[in-house]
Amino acid sequence: MNAPGDGSSEALLHAMAHAISYREGLLGRPIPPQIGVDEATRRLGGALNPRGRAAVDVIDTMVAEADAGLLQITSPGFFGYVIGGSHPVGVAADLLCSAWGQNTAYAATTPGVVAMENAVCKWVIDLLGLPEACGAGLVTGATLGNTVGVMAARDALLRRVNWDVEARGLFGAPEIQVVIGAEAHSATAAALRYAGLGSERVHRIAADAQGRMRVDEYRRMMAGLSGPILVILQAGHINSGAFDPFAELIPIAREKSAWVHVDGAFGLWVHAVPELAGRLAGVADADSWAVDLHKWLNAPYDAGMVMTRDRAPLVAAMSAHGDYLPEHGAIWDPSDSVPELSRRARGVPSYAILRHLGREGVLEMVARHCALAEQAAGELSAIAGLTVMNDVVSNQIAICCGDGERGDAMTQAVLARVQQDGRVYPTHGVWRGRHIIRVSICNHATSTVEIAELVTVLGDAWRQVQSEIQTE
């Protein structure tokens, strides 16, 4: 509680004032941090003070010392990795989420926030066009969403061959064959490791030029497999944004009674837009999906979701019910679908964002980002010497400069200049043997203004790098 006169309410008001001033000042700030981790540690680290300090002082000093070390991820000109912009309505709700301090394990204990989280699960399943009866859990992000999906798959696949993995573990269990694309995101390899299936003991299927799983190779591989099979597909390649050809791949998995999990961290949101959903045709036929809310929905960190067609394996894999805990009710208990028992009500910010945007607002945002990506790709590829390496099918653009090794060095030099300029902020990648500049359009506020700035800054940096090389 905040006791009158103890300074705690003042601290909260200061925190809000700092938050507002930070967010309102974003456009005027360079995007990269102005100090490195050593200087930040010098300012913020050190020994713990033996005596306490006034709450307001702590908040004010913390902000003053951390400020220069902040990366302006929430700026509409931030195009790095695949990162949402922490929507202001979600940030406001997040503050309440902390203030309420609800331990979101049981419906009977914290019904207010559980009702909101259940609504988020229902709405997101509906928006994404997945089966209405799906089980769902709100996790920290797609890495954990993939891990939980793989664990549910592990439960279901082994149960079919009369092996209770939850009770007996994997010691002596029938082997699960794992089929995965050569260019799957590293988070899926981590998920396989965490689930005890191993990241190397997999059948890797070659990728096509966009990083999608090749159907011919997959068909050949599947023909030779028997027993429990887990197929991991991808909706949204980290560099190209491409989607695996679900409509061709999933029916082949069905013939083998395989479990199909889809890593849809950002790309699954494209399925929400009726005009674009065809790009992911067949994705709703999978058995489980992971998606991030902190990416394309722009929820503040951290928020992701796992969904399973059949809820039973999800609960079997996750539920940690102890005798001292409340009885199972008719309503879903959040802790039955996620690895944690105690956790914050991480669905609350997403609830506020979804209510604020409504269905139309979410669809508009995703469609706008896809259209902006096409526009940016068109304008960037019109600049002589710049190549857009991918077919733009979602919000990702992979750009390289010049050719070969020299081109790689130039690409890196161009990116360094662009980042140093500080108005826009793409990041680095390596794809198809080339160093690339990755542009990801994911911020709720990004518009044609930031795209024009991106094209100008990147084009200027490229011309400068070329002219420097010529004068060497």
Write the binding mask 381 to 420 for ligand PLP: x where contact by CB under 6 A, - elsewhere.
----------------------------------------
431 binds ligand PLP (CB under 6 A): no
Q: Which residue has the tokens 């993995």?
A: 165
Residue 211 in contact with ligand PLP, rule: CB under 6 A = no
- Total number of residues binding ligand PLP (CB under 6 A)? 14
Q: Please classify residue 444 by burial: count the beta carbons closer than 10 Å to its beta carbon, then call 0-12 exposed, 13-18 middle and 19+ buried.
A: buried
Alpha carbons 59 and 48: distance in angstroms, whole number:
16
Per-residue x/- marks for ligand PLP, 216-255, CB under 6 A? --------------------x-x-----------------
Q: By rule CB under 6 A, what string of x and - marks binding of each residue 289-328 to ligand PLP? A: ---x-----------x------------------------
CA-wise closest residue to 239 among 395, 407, 406, 385:
395
Minimum gap (Å) between residue 260 Cβ and ligand PLP: 16
Task: Supply the minimum distance, in Å, between the C-beta of residue 143 and ligand PLP.
Answer: 3
- Measure the CA–CA gap between 143 and 341, rounded to whole angstroms: 18
Task: Identify whether the C-beta of residue 56 lies closer than 8 Å to the C-beta of residue 8.
Answer: no
- Rounded to whole angstroms, the Cα distance separating 135 from 122 reads 9
Nearest CA to 105 out of 390, 409, 342 is that of: 342
- Between 88 and 181, CB nearer to ligand PLP: 181
Q: Which two tokens stand for residue 334?
A: 């959040």
**Dihedral (CA of 107, 304, 147, 278) sign:** positive
Q: Give the residue among 364, 362, 290, 350 at the shortest CA–CA distance from 127.
A: 362
**Radius of gyration (C-alpha) of the chain in whole angstroms:** 24
Figure out which of the listed residues 78, 106, 218, 266 binds ligand PLP, where binding follows CB under 6 A: 266
- Taking residues 132 to 151 in sequence order and writing x for each that binds ligand PLP by CB under 6 A, - otherwise, the string is ---------xxx--------
Do residues 393 and 273 lie in contact, with contact meaning Cβ atoms separated by under 8 Å?
Answer: no
Name which position in 94, 117, 208, 263 contacts ligand PLP (CB under 6 A): 263
CB of 328 to ligand PLP, least distance (A): 29
Binding string, residues 51-90; x marks residues near ligand PLP by CB under 6 A: ------------------------------xx--------
Which amino acid is residue 145, in one-letter code?
G
Q: How far is the CB of 263 from ligand PLP (least distance, A)?
A: 5
Sheet holding 427-431, edge to edge: 386-388, 396-401, 434-440, 427-431
* Smallest separation (angstroms) from ligand PLP to the CB of 163: 28
Give least dist CB 383 to ligand PLP, A: 27
Give the Cα separation of 338 and 145 in Å (integer).
Answer: 9
Output the smallest distance, CB 339 to ligand PLP, in A: 14
Q: By the criterion CB under 6 A, which residues form the site for ligand PLP?
A: 81-82, 141-143, 185, 187, 236, 238, 263, 265-266, 292, 304
